[in-house]
Structure 1
């Protein structure tokens, strides 16, 4: 089940994201941005969705509607639940949310050194749009047109 996160889950959301991204610390040399995000503020802004399985958080999704795009800001799966299709489920949900909000495309970014993520997104139809350094991170922006 996917639902919006509630304020009482901020710590659990943060812990799941930290666990999911921990493996990237040696790859990029610092903690990825999602590890230090303010999830209480994100939840208050209604930007956080959780995937619940067997009464436990299995995944986290942060979606942000900006003036210029619908942004998939973060997707994280609990380490013990990776490889079970939850990432695909959350990507499908994010794309549907963008469509429901009236967007004909969805944008995301990932660290340029997270090459396996780039490959996953390309296989899902995301196209490279931009590469820039922001907040000290080398980011690759990707966009996917949504079906009409």
Structure 2
């Protein structure tokens, strides 16, 4: 059994914005060759606005070192997991799954019946992960110039 670091989560604050931006670039830049010139939206997102207006959470190993983050757009009817990113050197250590579990807990807290998300059609690793943890593909379509795969997970709480 692989030992995981102690996970700690907290809401992101304005002082985290530069770190969130850097993590997004690091986490998504590996997809650039597959996307043939398109930049994933999270690489250019307005993290100042997201920290102020969305539920933006960071995960650490119990220190001040942010390993990843998730951006959630909650409402009782339409809970959206807008973005999840983990530093490449910390991927595979459970940080992403911890953030996905946090998203479910937050969705349950507001009484949402499901979580929705999408990923780029070339991000097949993400698609496999979402399928393994209970998300169901609902559609594939062009959305604002991107080929996207949409998923939904029904919550049971």
Report if aligned partners of 1:4, 1:46 keep a CA contact under 8 Å in 2.
no
Within the alignment, does 1:7 sit opposite 2:19 as a pair? no
Distance 1:18 1:109 in 2: 18
- Give the Cα–Cα distance (whole angstroms) in 2 for the partners of residues 3 and 51 of structure 1: 7
User: Once structures 1 and 2 are overlaid, which stretch shifts more, 63-72 or 126-135?
Assistant: 63-72
> Deviations 1:36-79 (Å, cap 9, x if unpaired)?
10000000114211112232010110001258510001100011
Detail structure 1 runs of 4+ shifted over 6 Å in the superposition: none
Tell me the SS of whatever aligns to 2:30. helix
Equivalent position SS for 1:91: helix
Separation in structure 2 between the aligned mates of residue 133 and residue 101 of structure 1, nearest angstrom: 30
Equivalent position of 1:101 in the other structure: 110
Q: Secondary structure at the match of 2:34?
A: helix
Structure 2: unaligned runs, 5 residues or longer: 1-7
2:136 equivalent among 111, 119, 127: 127
**Which residue in the other structure is 1:50 paired with?**
58
2:19 match: secondary structure? helix
**TM-score using structure 2 length:** 0.90
Name the counterpart of 2:4.
Answer: none
1:16-42 superposed Cα distances (whole Å, 9 cap, x missing partner): 111011101111122111101000000
Quick one: distance in 2 between partners of 1:67 and 1:38?
24
The one-character-per-residue Cα deviations of 1:89-124 (angstroms, maximum 9, x if unpaired) are: 111000111111110111110001111110100000
